[in-house]
């Protein structure tokens, strides 16, 4: 059954939940929520649920609204809704949820799962030969959490996890949630300069890593990074052997007493579901990666029981019967969906769309939808989310017209950590998050991505900012100028192409330049294509103009494919 799309003003509550304090500004007639209650508060009945003053629930919105009384907020919101309603057919939707949002922490969620499915397997790490039940995972997480507290980590401290998909990653994350820490997710392919930037940016106090992964020597890099990161006090390595200058994961697990471990469970109520739980780094539209701070509530409510199949690395159907396939992280063409269906012999493909800043998924395919919708849209608007598409002046455009997608709801990030200016530019005063994606919103609740407003490149779900790669390439002594753009790729959506102008009279080989990049940036940021040029089209002010890079796929290899990239801001 198609979910109902509801205009939020139709369900506007007169009195906010939880009572609140009487507002002296309006003579006690209205109600003013405490700052914590204002954030992410929801109300509902058995039949429907709406946000209480949902458009102003986000932390950053209330930084601007301060302690204004709720009736004033409601009046502002009502006038805004009326203005949107007057614009017939405007691209604005609010997806009413059928179930209430959960005001819980991720730590309590882990405990609840351990109570319900204590002896059922929760984690199976095939390559490590490790299996953990829900109860075992919680037990190990609490021991590790108590060990971290014994080392001096306190609620709100940043705890980095720089590791591949190992069981220790999961234990470390759950432990951070149970201890009230902020888990900082770090890409396992980062090189030294990248990890130093991330550790410094958010002030990581302790970091968890393996002794090695592929070509990565984590202890060596972290010990070097520690000299440049004054906040970093503890390097925890999971390995059999002890590495000088670090702590073993197994030792930290056994560091606390039984009483200290039990104390972890008793302190869960002191952790707010509205507080920060996770920092994920993402590339912004300018400068270096930003640190997105997400709350317990946003992650918990946005998460789902989804098994993702990496079709990019499979050429043969797996020896199992697939129930569903899901694609996300990059735009997939109808031809791509067709090839997946043919390769894996099933027809139940789904799409998801989201951003780090909105906790993950905000559009997704619906059950039993037609292939036409799956193949040509990013899905239907998710529950409890507001979406609108606006023009360059912030005015809503008609349904079916492209513009920038703005999102508001429980899933929005708290802030870009330690970056007030970027937060202010990205989140409006009334709580809208500007995605930076060119988008078409349909009246039936489905959406389509047209492109990106700026030059951000998305390669297989990894957000890559060209300037970061350009800065590295410019370090090569033979390079005079470089512009990095995106080139269409059937597998990853986009690949990196470096258009390089070398010094006069110099000769540089493509593979030599790639090797130069390999020791300085993560492997997924190394340009797949390198094209040498003699000049670039520029404006009279010296800025590089739009470049129309066209490509064709031949039977031998992939060169470039039809794509126009805007690199005006490079």
Is there a domain that residue 416 lies in? Answer: yes
Find all residues with CB under 8 Å of 566, minimum gap 6, and list them.
454, 455, 546
Confidence of residue 481 (pLDDT cuts 50, 70, 90): confident
> Do residue 206 and residue 319 come from a single domain?
no
**What H or E segment, with its residue span, contains residue 178?**
helix 167-179
| CATH classification of the domain holding 175 | 3.40.50.980
How many Å apart are CA 6 and CA 39, to the nearest integer?
A: 22
Q: Quick one: what percent of the chain has pLDDT higher than 70?
A: 73
Q: Tell me the two tokens of residue 328.
A: 């996300």
Radius of gyration of the chain from its Cα atoms, rounded to whole angstroms: 25
Higher-confidence position of 566 and 131: 131
Distance CA 305, CA 324 (A): 12
pLDDT at 319: 61
Claim to verify: residue 254 and residue 138 sit in the same structural domain: yes
Q: Which residue has the higher pLDDT, 517 or 546?
A: 517
- Residue 72: CB partners within 8 Å, gap ≥ 6? 25, 26
- DSSP state for residue 190 in the 8-state scheme: -
Q: H or E stretch including 457?
A: strand 457-459
Indicate the residue among 222, 253, 271 that finishes a domain: 271
Of 496, 463, 470, 468, the C-alpha closest to 563 is 496
The answer to whether the CB of 232 falls within 8 A of the CB of 205 is yes
Residue 121 and residue 212 in one domain: yes
pLDDT at 40: 37
Contact present, 491 and 460 (Cβ < 8 Å): yes
Token readout for 526 is 């190394």
Residue 101, in any domain of the structure: no
pLDDT band at 331 (very low <50, low <70, confident <90, very high): low
Q: What is the mean pLDDT of residues 57-61?
A: 34
Check whether 201 has a pLDDT greater than 70.
yes
Indicate whether 541 and 426 sit together in one domain: no
User: Are 216 and 544 within 8 A, CB to CB?
Assistant: no
Contact 308, 300 (CB under 8 A): no
The answer to whether residues 199 and 291 touch, using CB atoms and an 8 Å cutoff, is: no
Instruction: Report percent pLDDT > 90 for the chain.
Output: 54
Instruction: Provide the pairing of β-strand 234-238 with 247-248.
Output: parallel
Are 228 and 323 members of one domain? no
Number of domains observed in the structure of the chain:
3
Beta strands in 296-359 (DSSP E): 325-327, 349-355
Range(s) of the domain holding residue 443: 298-454
Which CATH number fits the domain that encloses residue 528?
3.30.300.30
Q: How confident is the model at residue 337 (pLDDT cuts 50, 70, 90)?
A: confident
Q: Band of the pLDDT at 456, cuts 50, 70, 90?
A: confident
Query: Residue 434 forms beta bridges with which residues?
Result: 406
Q: Any long-range contacts for 154-158 (C-beta under 8 Å, 24+ apart)?
A: 154/180, 155/179, 155/180, 155/181, 155/270, 155/271, 156/180, 156/181, 156/182, 156/275, 156/276, 157/181, 157/182, 157/205, 157/206, 158/182, 158/184, 158/202, 158/203, 158/204, 158/205, 158/231, 158/279
**Which tokens is 75 given?**
């009046």
Q: What is the rounded average pLDDT for all residues in the chain? A: 78
In this predicted structure, the answer to whether residue 66 has a pLDDT above a threshold of 60 is no
- What are the helix (H) ranges across 117-151? 134-150
For residue 347, being part of any structural domain is answered with yes
Average pLDDT over residues 217-229: 97
The two three-digit tokens of residue 124, written as one number: 């199976």
| pLDDT score of 300 | 93
Please give the C-alpha separations between residue 385 and each of 240, 269, 452, 523, in angstroms, as whole numbers: 47, 27, 21, 35
In this structure, the answer to whether residues 447 and 473 fall within a common structural domain is: no
Determine the pLDDT at residue 540. Answer: 31
Residue 61 lies in a domain: no
* Segment among 26-40, 185-199, 499-513 with least mean pLDDT: 26-40
User: Residue 397: inside a domain, yes or no?
Assistant: yes
Domain boundary among 408, 431, 454: 454
Shared-domain flag, residues 330 and 415:
yes
Taking the C-alpha atoms of residue 436 and residue 394, their distance in angstroms, rounded to an integer, is 12
What is the reported pLDDT for 465? Answer: 74
Q: What is the pLDDT of residue 560?
A: 40
CA distance 557 to 552: 10
pLDDT tens digits along 351-384: 889 999 999 899 999 888 898 998 889 999 999 9
CA gap 379, 353 in Å, rounded: 7
Looking at the fold, whether 180 and 324 belong to one and the same domain comes out as no
Tell me the backbone φ, ψ of residue 77, rounded to 5 degrees.
-65, -40
Interval 278-314: pLDDT, tens: 999 986 444 578 999 999 999 999 885 343 334 444 4
- Whether residue 424 is found in the same domain as residue 464: no
Helix/strand/coil (H/E/C) assignment for every residue in 473-510 = HCCCCCEEEEEEEEEEECCCEEEEEEEEEECCCCCCCH
What is the average pLDDT across 69-89?
43
Residue 278 resides in a domain: no
Alpha-carbon gap, residue 148 to 235, rounded angstroms: 11
Q: Which two tokens stand for residue 230?
A: 């004054």
Across residues 35-60, what is the average pLDDT?
Answer: 31
423 to 59, 97, 497: CA distances (angstroms):
11, 27, 30
Tell me: do 134 and 231 sit in the same domain: yes
Residues 381, 424, single domain; the answer is: yes
Nearest to 198 by CA among 156, 160, 238: 160
Last residue of a domain, one of 454, 471, 497: 454
- Average pLDDT on 226-237 reads 98
| 538 inside domain | yes
Inform me whether the pLDDT recorded for 458 exceeds 90: no
pLDDT in tens, 269-288: 999 999 999 999 986 444 57
CA distances from 451 to 467, 486, 499, 565 (A): 19, 12, 21, 10
Contact 472, 513 (CB under 8 A): no
Residue 57 near residue 51 (C-beta atoms within 8 A): yes
Tokens of 473: 């390439």
Q: What is the pLDDT of residues 92-145, one digit of tens each?
A: 999 887 788 999 999 999 999 999 999 999 999 999 999 999 999 999 999 999
**Residue 78: is its pLDDT beyond 50?**
no
pLDDT of residue 119: 97
In CATH, what number is assigned to the domain containing residue 432?
A: 3.40.50.12780
Give the C-alpha distances (Å, rounded to integers) separating 325 from 307, 334, 525.
Answer: 8, 14, 27
Query: Do 449 and 493 belong together in one domain?
Result: no
pLDDT band at 428 (very low <50, low <70, confident <90, very high): very high
Q: What is the pLDDT of residue 462?
A: 84
Task: Spell out the residues 6+ positions from residue 258 whose beta carbon is closer than 8 angstroms to its own.
Answer: none
pLDDT over 90 (residue 543): no
Q: Coil, helix or strand for 512?
A: helix
Q: Residue 133: inside a domain, yes or no?
A: yes
Pairwise pLDDT comparison (367 vs 562), residue with the higher score: 367
Output the pLDDT for position 451.
66
- Which of 16-25, 271-280, 560-569 has the highest mean predicted lDDT (pLDDT)? 271-280
Identify the helix (H) or strand (E) that includes residue 276.
Answer: strand 276-282
């Amino acid at each position: 059954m198609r979910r109902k799309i509801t205009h939020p003003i139709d369900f506007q509550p007169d009195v906010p939940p939880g009572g609140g304090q009487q507002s002296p500004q309006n003579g006690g007639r209205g109600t003013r929520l405490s700052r914590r209650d204002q954030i992410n508060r929801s109300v509902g009945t058995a039949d429907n649920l709406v946000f209480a003053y949902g458009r102003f629930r986000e932390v950053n919105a209330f930084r601007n609204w301060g302690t204004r009384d709720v009736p004033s907020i409601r009046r502002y919101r009502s006038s805004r809704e009326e203005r949107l309603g007057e614009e017939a057919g405007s691209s604005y939707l609010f997806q009413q949820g059928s179930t209430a949002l959960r005001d819980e922490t991720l730590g309590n969620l882990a405990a609840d799962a351990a109570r319900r499915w204590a002896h059922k397997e929760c984690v199976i790490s095939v390559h490590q030969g490790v299996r953990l039940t829900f109860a075992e995972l919680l037990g190990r997480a609490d021991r590790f959490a108590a060990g971290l507290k014994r080392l001096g980590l306190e609620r709100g401290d940043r705890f980095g996890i720089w590791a591949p998909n190992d069981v220790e990653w999961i234990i470390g994350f759950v432990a951070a949630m149970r201890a009230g820490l902020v888990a900082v997710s770090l890409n396992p392919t980062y090189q030294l300069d990248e990890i130093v930037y991330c550790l410094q940016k958010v002030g990581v106090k302790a970091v968890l890593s393996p002794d090695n992964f592929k070509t990565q020597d984590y202890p060596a890099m972290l010990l070097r990074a520690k000299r440049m990161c004054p906040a970093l006090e503890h390097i925890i390595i999971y390995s059999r052997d002890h590495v000088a200058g670090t702590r073993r994961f197994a030792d930290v697990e056994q560091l606390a007493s039984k009483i200290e471990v039990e104390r972890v469970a008793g302190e869960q109520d002191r952790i707010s579901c509205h507080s920060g739980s996770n920092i994920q780094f993402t590339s912004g539209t300018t400068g270096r990666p930003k640190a997105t701070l997400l709350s317990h509530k946003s992650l918990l409510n946005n998460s789902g029981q989804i098994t993702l199949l990496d079709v990019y690395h499979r050429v043969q159907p797996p020896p199992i019967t697939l129930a569903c396939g899901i694609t996300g992280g990059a735009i997939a063409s109808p031809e791509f969906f067709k090839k997946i269906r043919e390769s894996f012999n099933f027809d139940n493909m789904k799409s998801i769309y989201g951003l780090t800043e909105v906790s993950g998924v905000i559009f997704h395919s619906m059950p039993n939808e037609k292939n036409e919708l799956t193949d040509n849209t990013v899905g239907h608007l998710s529950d409890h989310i507001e979406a609108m598409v606006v023009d360059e002046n912030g005015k809503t455009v008609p349904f079916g017209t492209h513009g920038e997608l703005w999102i508001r709801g429980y899933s929005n990030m708290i802030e870009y950590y330690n970056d007030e200016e970027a937060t202010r530019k990205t989140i409006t005063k009334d709580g809208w998050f500007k995605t930076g994606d060119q988008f078409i919103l349909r009246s039936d609740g489905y959406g389509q991505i047209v492109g990106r407003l700026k030059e951000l490149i998305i390669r297989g779900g990894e957000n890559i900012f060209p300037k970061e790669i350009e800065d590295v390439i410019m370090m090569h002594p033979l390079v005079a100028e470089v512009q990095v753009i995106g080139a269409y790729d059937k597998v990853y959506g986009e690949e990196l192409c470096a258009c390089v102008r070398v010094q006069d009279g110099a000769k540089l080989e493509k593979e030599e330049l790639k090797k130069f990049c390999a020791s300085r940036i993560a492997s997924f940021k190394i340009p797949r294509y390198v094209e040498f040029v003699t000049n670039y089209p520029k404006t009279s002010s010296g800025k590089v103009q739009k470049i129309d890079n066209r490509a064709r796929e031949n039977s031998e290899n992939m060169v470039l494919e039809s794509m126009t990239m805007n690199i005006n801001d490079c």
